[in-house]
Amino acid sequence: MLDAEHCEQLTQDLVEFAGPWEIHRATEDLAPALPDAPGLYMFVWRPPFQFQVGSVPTHGTFPQLLYIGQAGASQTDYGNTIRQRYKDYRKFLRGDPESLWTDTEPTNRNQRLARYLILQPMEFWCATVQERNRIEGLEKRLIRLHNPPLNDRGRPKLRGRLGTPRSAWQS
């Protein structure tokens, strides 16, 4: 998923099968403004940060995709919409920012969401997808590409190997 060809294909598929992406500030009262339709969504944090490269600061921010999800992908999931899924997450938006600095690492999905969805400014990106059978595949590809830290399923797994160290540059 990291080569240009796969990225271009994913971009084309999103244009073909998903509606235009909407970007909203993630607040507790956002749900009524969201599409009551199936689709994809992401929680995105844009830290107010700039790199100083040489003598020229960069402009803009570096968005951090924290979580990617889908709504209404299966035949039994027809009542699940982007709006409904957001309602499930909004309780995590009102957490205590002090939880970011605790020494205890989150051990499950709800603890990770509670800890990191309080970051500000948090955005909620969403796009409707009318062909429900396309949603799960698009979500899976986005997760593999972006590897968001709050998703526990579908992320690429990095495995370390223990053993005798060896040179990376062997002839």
| Mean pLDDT score of the chain | 87
> pLDDT per residue over 103-125, tens digit each?
888 888 888 998 999 988 899 99
pTM score of the predicted model: 0.83
Burial class (CB in 10 A: 0-12, 13-18, 19+), 82: buried
> pLDDT per residue over 129-142, tens digit each?
999 999 999 999 99
State the DSSP string of 74-114: SGGGTT--HHHHHHHHGGGGG--GGGGG-SSPP-SHHHHHH
